[in-house]
Amino acid sequence: MTKVLILGATSPIARALALRFASDGARLYLAARNADEARRVAEDVSVRAGVAALSGTFDASDFASHDEFVRHAAGQLGGLDGVVVCFGTLGDEEVAQTDPDAALATIHQNFTGAASLITLAARHLEQQRSGFIIVIGSVAGERGRKKNYVYGSAKGALATFAQGLRGRMTASGVHVMTVKLGTVDTRMTWGREGALLTITPSRAADLIYAAYRKRAEVVYLPWYWRLIMGAIRLIPESRFKRISF
């Protein structure tokens, strides 16, 4: 039985992914900032999939608590075979661009908190020489846009971190997959630009799980975002800085 820790388990994509894993018989530890909501998600997954799911809490910005949290989750699961990193927040970009505290809060929630937790989980998986890590990021990290560069820089750093980790973990047989999501129809993105290119959380989860089963390494979801971001990367900086999107 595969033992999986899902971080940010109350997000719509994480909930859908939890059902995919549970339906294949995985034992799950579903963790989020809100303990009551994490427990409700675990209960729902248990009922729907017929596999007991555990729940717990973590704080991405409380770095000192991360080691004990990962140890506890692995102990509750009876081992650890995989980690799915689903948490993050858009934050208030307008405030973050002028307030260092707000900027750091966005960066901690999207990068440094994830880097801390991933490092601890990777150490465990590396020692047992097996397992997987799925890092769900964003196409916003592909290039620094004037409208969301605080959030985008955190996601860009996360993708670079995962890329380096993937190279390091290859020798240990640990699979690291980076997911670069386009716009998904969730509360976090409601009302923002790009609505015509959105996909549902359920569809995103299907594509992520299929890519995981194929042991993909870097996945753009939906696929056309690879083409879109490829074109955006080709725009010269002298022109790109004048674009308002």
Better pLDDT: 50 or 215? 215
Name the nearest CA neighbour of 139 among 216, 228, 60, 204.
228
Better pLDDT: 187 or 38? 38
The Cα 179–Cα 184 span in angstroms is: 13
Q: Catalytic: 220?
A: no
Residues 6+ apart with CB under 8 A from 206: 16, 20
What pLDDT digit, counting tens, does each position of 16-46 carry?
Answer: 999 999 999 999 999 999 999 999 999 999 9
Can you give the C-alpha Rg of the chain in angstroms? 18
Instruction: Tell whether the model's pLDDT for residue 78 goes beyond 80.
Output: yes
pLDDT (average), residues 220-227: 93
Task: Tell me the sheet residues that pair with 134.
Answer: 84, 177
Q: Which of 29, 149, 151, 220 is catalytic?
A: 151
pLDDT band at 184 (very low <50, low <70, confident <90, very high): confident
Q: What pTM did the predictor assign?
A: 0.92
| pLDDT for position 135 | 98
Instruction: Tell whether the model's pLDDT for residue 104 goes beyond 50.
Output: yes
| pLDDT for position 194 | 47
pLDDT (average), residues 180-197: 63
Instruction: Tell whether the model's pLDDT for residue 213 goes beyond 90.
Output: yes
pLDDT band at 238 (very low <50, low <70, confident <90, very high): confident
Secondary structure letter of residue 199 according to DSSP = B
Does residue 176 sit in helix, strand or coil? strand
Q: Count of CB atoms within 10 A of residue 181's CB?
A: 23
pLDDT (average), residues 145-156: 95
Domains and CATH numbers, the chain: 3-240 (3.40.50.720)
Query: Average model confidence (pLDDT) for the chain?
Result: 93
Task: Tell me the sheet residues that pair with 178.
Answer: 135, 218
